Structure 1
């Protein structure tokens, strides 16, 4: 049996009818390496959803955005060839704060990202980035000679990000 002092609850402050548990304004960056297999999409979705637990974001939407980006990354990596199981050519980096989430998915295909929404509503492929663009505040891509990284910035409901915040996450202006 533990005394109350051994397992203290996080301090809670009350503001009128709203109760908010004290938590840090930002968490440490999180990272996850993924294999180039379709089954890794579910693992990525779970990783991203768990990173926003307790923050003012819809975990389902964060998971959906992650699923779309990781599906594209898996397809891009597989198009380059077969990858041994010991290799994780795809990575997710994520910084979650109480104001925004910066999600970055890197894959080993340095070619330009294909356009979004090719083929209309009934198309089997090409609608994922349109979904991401509807849910995110911003999306951009960075390239180097061996990879590309798709960045997504998701603002908390009612939050307008400052130019300093946008600069901090590396969003091009």
Structure 2
């Protein structure tokens, strides 16, 4: 697990962490890094909306990546409790609102869990030529 400060360089660190985590596995490291980047950007924005400045000793954003032979499970946590914004379809030139659409285009599934200290956005990316059954997906969601 990677714990991050609420800073713009958190996105870079999450991207690097995700790409390194899938090295040697049959996943596209660029794709995994892209999804980590999009979800971490949203987490930074959610944390900034709560508090514009965070003390240096607090790292409220977490990135976790579980890699198996069938799927990679990316989970990005932040202290925000607000529901995710509705997806916006502003086109390719839009500067905001495309992140979750990008995640949904690359992930086999995406969902959100809420806890006492914020939310976690999960993305599940399957290995090449793998199709998860409904039972597998339900089990993964239950254990997250």
Q: What is the TM-score normalised by the length of structure 1?
A: 0.77
Q: 1:124: Cα distance to partner?
A: 1.0
RMSD, matched Cα: 1.5
Larger radius of gyration: 1
1:1-173 equivalences in 2 (<5 Å): 31-81=1-51, 82-170=53-141
Distance 1:38 1:147 in 2: 20
Distance 2:100 2:38 in 1: 7
User: Would you tell me which structure has more helix in proportion to its own residues?
Assistant: 2
Q: 1:161: Cα distance to partner?
A: 1.0
Moved over 4 A (4+): none
Count of equivalent residues: 142
Q: 1:80: Cα distance to partner?
A: 0.9
Higher relative contact order (Cα pairs below 8 Å, separated by 6+ residues):
2
Structure 1: gaps of 5 or more residues: 1-30
Contact 1:140–1:171 (8 Å) recurs in 2: no
Structure 2: gaps of 5 or more residues: none
